[in-house]
A = this chain, B = another copy of it.
Amino acid sequence: MLNFLLLGAGRIGKMHANIIHDHPKANLKYVYDLNKKSSSIISQKYKCNSTNNPYEIINSPEIDAVVIASSTPTHIEFINKSVKAGKAIFCEKPIDLNIRKVNRCWDKIKNSNVPIQIGFNRRYDPGHNEVQKSLIAGKIGKLEMIVITSRDPFPPPMSYLKSSGGIFRDCSIHDFDLARFILKNDPIVEVYANASRNVSKDFVKVNDYDTTMCILKSKKGVLIHINNSRRAIYGYDQRLEVFGSKGMLISNNIPKNNVESFNEKYSFSKNKIHNFFLERYHDSYRLQFDDFIKSVLNNAKPKVSFDDGKKALIIADCATQSVKRNKIIKIK
C-alpha cells in the first residue's frame, strides 16, 4: 500500500484523486491546492487531509508518493523537492514548457533512484497499447509508417490558451510521445510542421494555431504523420494507424455504445464518439496509474520516464520552430 500526496485539485487533479481512491494498493492521504476550496472538496469526498504546506508533507514519513497534477510551472519545483525527499513521483505532462528548465531539472535529479513517471496516458489506452504490443510481436512485420489523428472536441478557454505553450507543446506532445512509443528505440531525427487558423480568433490573439499537420522521420526511415485540430464537432477524434510490411493496425474511435441505426437516410449509424478526454481515456488513466503503482512496489523503473517527457518536448519545440521559420528542423 502506498500513501499519496496529491498536488493540484483542478479538473485533472480531481480525476487523479478518484483513481488513487479506487486503487486497492493506493491511499489518498493528503491533497494540496493553492485554491483551498478545490482541495477541501477532495479532502471531504475521499476523507483525506488537506494541507497548505505541500513541502512539509512531501517530506513527511506519512507519505510514500506524490501525484503532481498542479499547474505546469509548478511541476519542476515539486519534482525537485520530491526527489530530495525520496518520494516516488507521478507527474502530469508536460514536465515544463521550457526545455532548458527541464534539462536543468534533469541535471539535478539524474543521479537519484527515485521512481518518476510522466503522464503520457495514451500509451495505456487499451486500443493504442494493443497496437504497440502487436507490432512488437511481429504481427504486421517491419514498421514503415505511423499516422496519428488527434482532434479535440472544442477549444479551451482564452485563459488557458495564453499559458498553454502553443498547440504543439500542449496537444501534439501526446502524439509525439505516442509516436515515440510505437517507434521504441528508433529516434525521431527530422520534424516538419505546418499550421492554420480556422477555429476562432483567439488563436490569432495568442499567436497560436488551431489546425496542424506534421511529418516526422525516424533514424531508420519510418515516416510519421500527425494531424491535430482544436475543434472536431463530431467528438474527440483519437486514432492511431500503424503500417508495416505485413499488415496494418488501426486503433479507431469509440462510439458511446454499439447501437446501429438504420432509417430512410442512413445505415449502420452509431452514436457520436466520446466527446471528452476523461471519457475516451478513462481506462488509460487508470491503467497508467496501476502500472506506476506496480513499478514502485516492484522496484522497477516506471515505463514512461523523465527522458520521455523531455524528448516529446524537444519534438514539440522543433514543430513550433518549423512553423515559425517555415523550415524543416533536424534533431541531433
Q: Show the binding face of A for B, using Cβ within 8 Å.
A: 22, 126-127, 130-131, 134, 139-142, 144-145, 147, 149, 151, 190, 192, 194-199, 211-215, 217, 221-225, 227, 229, 231-235, 237, 243, 245-273, 326-328
A1 → chain B closest CB, angstroms: 14
Q: Report if A268-B267 is in contact (Cβ < 8 Å); known contacts: A247-B261, A253-B258.
A: no
Q: What is the minimal beta-carbon distance from A39 to any residue of chain B, in angstroms?
A: 20
List chain B residues, Cβ under 8 A from A257: 126-127, 130, 251, 254
Cβ-closest chain B residue relative to A234: B262
**In the complex where A144-B229, A233-B263, A268-B268 touch, is A223 in contact with B194 (Cβ < 8 A)?**
yes
Determine if A247 and B268 form an interchain contact, defined as CB atoms under 8 angstroms apart.
no
Residues of B within 8 A of A215 (CB): 192, 194, 213-215, 225
The residue that A192 contacts in the complex, of B139, B142, B192, B247, with Cβ under 8 A, is B192
Closest B residue by C-beta to A330: B326
- Could you list 22 examples of A-B contacts with CB < 8 Å? A127-B259, A140-B263, A141-B233, A145-B229, A147-B149, A194-B223, A195-B223, A196-B221, A197-B221, A231-B245, A233-B263, A233-B264, A235-B262, A246-B263, A247-B261, A247-B263, A249-B259, A254-B258, A255-B268, A326-B328, A327-B328, A328-B328
Contact partner of A130 (CB less than 8 A), chosen from B127, B259, B269, is B259
A245 to chain B: which residues have CB within 8 Å? 198-199, 231, 233
CB distance from A240 to the nearest CB of B (A): 9
Closest CB in chain B relative to A137 CB, distance in Å: 12
Q: Say whether B264 contacts A246, CB under 8 Å.
A: yes
Tell me, in angstroms, the Cα distance from A163 to B252 when the chains sit together: 39
- Nearest chain B CB to A85 CB, angstrom units: 31
Cβ B233 vs Cβ A267 within 8 A: no
Determine which of B221, B267, B326 lies in contact with A273 in the assembled complex, contact meaning CB atoms within 8 Å: B267
- Measured CB to CB, the closest approach of chain B to A130, in angstroms, equals 5
The answer to whether residues A227 and B233 also contact, given A198-B142, A252-B258, A253-B267 and a CB cut-off of 8 A, is: no
Inter-chain CA distance A144–B253, complex, in Å, is 20
Say yes or no: A234 contacts B264, CB within 8 Å: yes
Q: Are B266 and A271 in contact (CB under 8 A)?
A: yes
The answer to whether B198 touches A144 (Cβ under 8 A) is yes
A235 — which chain B residues lie within 8 A by C-beta? 262, 267
Q: Which 5 A-B pairs have the closest CB atoms?
A: A269-B269, A247-B263, A234-B262, A196-B221, A127-B257
